[in-house]
Amino acid sequence: MIVVMNHNATKEQVQAVLKRLDKEGFQVHISQGESRTIIGVIGHNTKDLLPKLALEALPGVDRVVPILQPYKLAGREFKPEDSVYRIANLEIGSKTIQIAAGPCAVESREQILEVALAVKEAGATILRGGAYKPRTSPYSFQGLEEKGLKLLAEAKEKTGLAIVTEATDTSNLKIVAEYADIIQIGARNMQNFYLLKEAGKLNKPILLKRGGNATIEEWLLAAEYIMSGGNYQVILCERGIRTFETATRNTLDLSAIPLLKQLSHLPVFADPSHGTGNWKLVPAMSRAAIAAGADGLLVEVHPQPSEALSDGPQSLTPENFKKMMKELKEIAAVLGRKVGNSNG
């Protein structure tokens, strides 16, 4: 941590800062420049204490510049090798890329079974589908809830696909955990710290979507909430950030993928369906995400997108999904990887 004093800070003001740091047990290095005093703060616990100090509020302090990243368990420094999780017969974060596909929301038995069979056949290994839906408007379809979870279980039994589905509140986390192989925490809940803490007590992988206005650092700190509770199986999922551009629903930030691979050991997925909001862009962005190094994808597939109760405009038909999968396998091969059950 570096404390930059104002150019006209007095000696007394500098002394006050030093006293405060000394009180907290920090060692300091003082650099007396021509125009300013700069104080370097050293100590093995700066990361923990930094959030508790408010040095900017002291007179004469211009800025406090943090040097160390504020997360630990999620960082590459803490664990240099890639994390790989095993669920059922799948590996997440290994050379094999997993594709989770399915409808935005579970709507009916027919719908989910039809989609599950279709995406399985095309090479998906995970079925996605929401039973609890967070919706912007109170007047929108809010999900089938437990009935939806049971339908997912039936689809799993019939196809062997693993299940990823969203828990939207601490009140449904447990029941979701009973049915899901991977529990999704959605973008709007990325900083729902109660939900994160409860998820940290489970022993199931958590797919943590990036909040629409979350920085990479805040996202890793949200992962840290889960991990500091004891659940180390976090999968990060880029799903687009909100920017000024309205031609797409969100701006899918694919550069987050290689950047996270540097900063963290956690597997990284991408969701090109929410990331663009437009099914016509999904195949190109799916290819791009794999090329950028994604460990998996979340893709919306619906048998009749125009009849979907939620997010129809961003859903692929099973036919378009199948075409896309073929290309994804070839791109994965360029990177020395394979896609899901592609040689199964």
Site for a second copy in 92-131 (CB under 8 A): none
When binding is defined by CB under 8 A, the residue of 141, 153, 175, 204 that contacts a second copy is 141
| Angstrom distance (rounded) from CA 190 to CA 223 | 9
Question: Is residue 12 a contact point for a second copy (CB under 8 A)?
Answer: no
- Closer to a second copy by CB, 137 or 343: give it: 137
d(CA 102, CA 97): 17
Q: What are the residue ranges of helices labelled H in the chain? A: 11-23, 46-49, 109-122, 146-159, 170-179, 193-199, 216-228, 256-263, 272-276, 282-292, 318-334
| Residue choice 84, 117, 153, 288 for contact with a second copy (CB under 8 A) | 288
Q: x-or-dash pattern for a second copy, window 209-248, by CB under 8 A? A: --xxx-xxxx--x--xx--x------------xxxxxxxx
Residue whose CB is less far from a second copy, 181 or 224: 224
Q: How many residues bind a second copy (CB under 8 A)?
A: 107
Q: In the numeric block, which tokens belong to residue 340?
A: 């899901």
Of the candidate residues 21, 236, 308, 339, the single one contacting a second copy (CB under 8 A): 308
Q: What distance in Å separates the CA atoms of residue 99 and residue 86, rounded to the nearest whole number?
A: 15
Q: CA 28 to CA 42: how far, in whole Å?
A: 6
Residues 313-332 interacting with a second copy (rule: CB under 8 A): 313, 315, 327, 330-331
Q: Residues 65, 95, 158, 323: which binds a second copy (CB under 8 A)? A: 65
Query: Hey, how many other C-beta atoms are within 10 angstroms of the C-beta on 247?
Result: 9
Q: Which of 110, 194, 230, 319 binds a second copy (CB under 8 A)?
A: 194
Based on the shown chain and the rule CB under 8 A, indicate whether residue 169 belongs to the binding site for a second copy: yes
What is the nearest approach in angstroms of a second copy to the Cβ of residue 44?
A: 5
Closest CA to 115 of 297, 308, 272, 290: 308
Nearer to a second copy, 59 or 88 (CB): 59
Site for a second copy in 76-95 (CB under 8 A): 77
Q: Is 145 in the site for a second copy (CB under 8 A)?
A: no
- Toward a second copy, which CB reaches closer, 161 or 199? 199
Assess 26 for contact with a second copy (CB under 8 A). no
Contact positions with a second copy (CB under 8 A) in 147-166: none
Q: Which one, 90 or 202, has the nearer CB to a second copy?
A: 202
* Cβ contact 87:181 at 8 Å: yes
Spatial distance between the Cα atoms of 10 and 61, rounded to a whole number of angstroms: 10
CB 106 within 8 A of CB 130: yes
Rounded to whole angstroms, the Cα distance separating 342 from 256 reads 26
The answer to whether residue 191 forms part of the interface with a second copy (CB under 8 A) is yes
Nearer to a second copy, 201 or 280 (CB): 280
Minimum gap (Å) between residue 112 Cβ and a second copy: 17
> Is residue 291 close enough to count as binding a second copy by CB under 8 A?
yes
Distance linking the first and last C-alpha atoms of the chain: 51
3-state secondary structure of 159: helix
Mention every residue, 6+ apart, whose C-beta is less than 8 A from residue 9: 36, 37, 59, 60, 61, 62
Residue with Cβ nearer a second copy (225 or 321): 225
3-state secondary structure 49-86: HHHHCCHHHCCCEEEEECCCCCCCCCECCCCCCCCCEE
Considering only 88-96, 120-128, 156-164, 256-264, which stretch makes contact with a second copy by CB under 8 A? 256-264
Q: Is 343 in the site for a second copy (CB under 8 A)?
A: no
